[in-house]
Amino acid sequence: MSRAWRITFATLSLALLLLAGCASQPPAATQAQLPVIREPGDFTSANATAPGFHIHDYWDGRESIEVLRSSSGPMRASCQGCVNGMPVLDIQPPDGSIVPQGTAWVDVAVHVEGQASPDAYELWVQTAVDEKPRRAGALTPGETFRFNSTNERNDPPHYVLSLWRFQVRVPAEDVEFSGTVDIRVEAVRGLPLVPYPAHPDQWLGATELSVLDESQSVDLAYAVRTPVSGQYTCMGGCPGRHVPPNGTVVPWDARFVDVTLTFPDGVPAGLDLWYHGANTRSFTRVEPDLTTPGTVHARIELERGQADSPYAPRSLWEVRVHFSEGLPAVAWTGTYRVEMVASK
């Protein structure tokens, strides 16, 4: 049986298990005796074995949690022909900050110091079930915007990276902005904590699962370091970011992830491989194994929390391929294949 079919079956098994958990909740009389998991990184035997129903309570007795507080700092931006207006702030909660189960609404306070043309602002929100931000409504100066939530919209259990995203937009096609944008987001408790079933067996007898397998062709990757910013500008179909497709995850109890890049015409000099798992958005550079001609390989031994949540609908992992910053310039044309395989 191919790896592709195995991961499909594992994902289907997870979906069916979650549906079964929703349809066959433990009796209300026994819910008070269910194990309570109070930390996203807690994977105790109580919530991993049958019957396994358990509660996730990350509130620590609080009625509200500050999810995000940030200031853009001084900025200038403009846009002509923006279909949905121009974002002057586009931000996600920091690592370790989530909208937990039980959140009934989030309060969003936005303060703009400066001016925009036109002088109007909107809040756009992406919840855990959305693929992109959606318009929530107009912002009124000095007032807090209340956005209603549900447990489906809230971040799933065991997440430490929030799926939520917040944007402040100027709703016009032609926009000019100069100033700063401050935002504070607070999750407010108000919904019951729903029991979750035991953590699923996503392996179904396998010892490894394909998480990602795709190819990328590069017509001309030209990277040059600019003297002013010290950053690289890359043009012409550059090697870049790879994410597992929807429905594919690194199983919560995986021990290793192997990343393999295959170059039919040989590995280009100065190539770097970076990744991040489900516990941070900060990338880590991998020191790869180059002993096999035409192949870049890295084995990542996972710490607890780096794998995806047992209830994740999609993976939070990312792999990036680019050229070393130690190179003054690069010109390369070619094709490569990137594979990610999780194993026990």
pLDDT of residue 8: 36
Please give the sequence-ordered ranges of beta strands (E in DSSP) within 226-309, or none if there are none. Answer: 232-235, 241-242, 256-262, 271-276, 284-286, 295-301
Return all residues near 230 (Cβ < 8 A) that are at least 6 apart: none
Q: Which residue has the higher pLDDT, 192 or 232?
A: 192
**Alpha helix stretches (DSSP H) within the chain:** 3-23, 28-31
Q: Calculate the alpha carbon distances from 5 to 11, 204, 209, 271, 340 in Å.
A: 10, 11, 9, 32, 15
Q: Give per-residue pLDDT as tens, 240-277.
A: 899 999 889 999 999 999 999 999 999 988 888 999 99
CATH class given for the domain over 208-343: mainly beta
pTM for the model stands at 0.84
- Please report which helix (H) or strand (E) contains residue 315, including its range: none
pLDDT of residue 322: 83
Contact indicator for 64, 188 with CB cutoff of 8 Å: yes
- Looking at the predicted structure, is the pLDDT value of residue 5 above 50? no
CATH of domain 62-189: 2.60.120
pLDDT of residue 1: 33
Provide the pLDDT confidence category of residue 234 given band limits of 50, 70 and 90. Answer: low
Is the bond preceding residue 118 a cis peptide, omega within 30 degrees? yes
Joined tokens for residue 23: 């349809």
- Looking at the predicted structure, is the pLDDT value of residue 29 above 60? no
The single-letter code of the amino acid at 6 is R
3-state secondary structure of 267: coil
Instruction: Tell me how far apart the alpha carbons of residues 93 and 107 are, in angstroms, rounded to a whole number.
Output: 14
- Looking at the predicted structure, is the pLDDT value of residue 156 above 80? yes
Q: Calculate the alpha carbon distances from 225 to 190, 240, 329 in Å.
A: 51, 17, 7
Q: What is the mean pLDDT of the chain?
A: 86
- Looking at the predicted structure, is the pLDDT value of residue 191 above 70? yes
Q: Where are the domains of the chain?
A: 62-189, 208-343
